[in-house]
Homo-oligomer: A and B are copies of this chain.
Amino acid sequence: MKPVEKTEYQPIPVRQTLIEMKDISELMIDLAYSAALFNNRELAEEVMALERRVDNLVYILNMNLMLAARDKEDAESLAGVAKVGAMTNSISDAAADIAGIVLHGIGIHPIVREVFQRTEEHLARMVVAENSMLAGKAVSELDLAAEVGVDIIAIRRGIHWLIDPQKEMVMPEDVLVARGTASGLEKLAEAARGEVETLD
């Protein structure tokens, strides 16, 4: 088990924290389904990394909520905000449970595969090589939806996650999470590994 990141108070706006938690928890469900569908340990590990991030954010959210409440009216209306934070945490835990099936090597029963396949959205995870044609370009500039029928829905850079990173620049060693057709994802993976010069 990896050491748990120490959680220190950070003055991050509640709004921003809650949006990040909601976005991450939704991404985690998609990632967990794909991890189970393809029995993919790498995707499952990403889910676990995100789960640690959400755990961390819950603490930060609750600290900032406590500091924000000045009277009982504040406390009442902020109690609902805390509940939404708890909800995203429950969803994140549920996704981590699914990823755990893969990591425990239990094997994915055909029924689970079938259930997840019904709402299947192909996701893949790829690491950007030093010499990749993607490196140094903004995600939006790559025009991936039109070129190869995929979207980069998240980038992990070290321990930081960038969700919906349209304006971000792709960097070597970035971990990309992309959604799209199987053939499009394969093309993007080749580009990430630096095996092709163009996406055509």
Which residues of A pack against B, CB within 8 Å? Answer: 14-15, 18-19, 22, 26, 29, 36, 76-81, 83-84, 86-88, 90-91, 93-95, 97-98, 100-101, 106-109, 111-112, 114-115, 118-119
- Inside 8 A of A94's CB, which chain B residues have their CB? 86-88, 90-91, 94
- Inside 8 A of A93's CB, which chain B residues have their CB? 90
Could you tell me if A80 and B97 are in contact, using CB atoms closer than 8 angstroms?
no
CA distance A103 to B26 in the complex (A): 24
Could you tell me if B76 and A106 are in contact, using CB atoms closer than 8 angstroms?
yes
* Contact A107 B15, CB 8 Å, known A22-B115, A91-B91, A98-B83: no
CA distance A84 to B119 in the complex (A): 15
* Contact A84 B15, CB 8 Å, known A90-B90, A107-B76: no
